[in-house]
C-alpha cells in the first residue's frame, strides 16, 4: 500500500519488488503479482491494464 501511495503512477509487480528491496527473482515477482491481484479483488487496488496496479481514485 505504501509503495503504491508513494508512486507517481501505476506499478508493475517487478517495480513493487524493487521498491520493497526484494530480490528480483521470478518467484518473488509472481508472488507479488498474486498479492496485487488479491488486493484488486478486495477493492484496495485497481488494475488499469493487465499487470499495472494503482490505488483507486476517490
What does the domain layout of the chain look like in residue ranges?
2-54
> How many alpha carbons lie under 13 Å from residue 37 in its C-beta half-sphere?
8
**pTM for the full model?**
0.84
**Cβ neighbour number for residue 41 with a 10 Å cutoff:** 10
Residue range 2-54 in CATH 1.10.10: yes
Alpha-helical (H) ranges within the chain are 2-6, 13-19, 26-41
Radius of gyration of the chain (CA): 11
Alpha-carbon gap, residue 10 to 50, rounded angstroms = 11
pLDDT digits (tens, 9 = 90+) for 17-52: 999 999 999 999 999 999 999 999 999 999 999 999
What is the pLDDT, as a whole number, of residue 1?
A: 60
Amino acid at each position: 500500500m505504501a509503495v503504491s501511495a508513494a508512486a507517481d503512477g501505476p506499478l508493475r509487480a517487478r517495480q513493487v519488488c524493487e521498491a520493497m528491496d526484494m530480490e528480483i527473482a521470478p518467484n518473488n515477482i509472481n508472488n507479488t503479482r498474486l498479492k496485487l491481484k488479491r488486493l484488486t479483488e478486495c477493492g484496495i487496488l485497481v488494475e488499469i491494464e493487465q499487470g499495472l496496479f494503482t490505488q483507486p481514485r476517490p
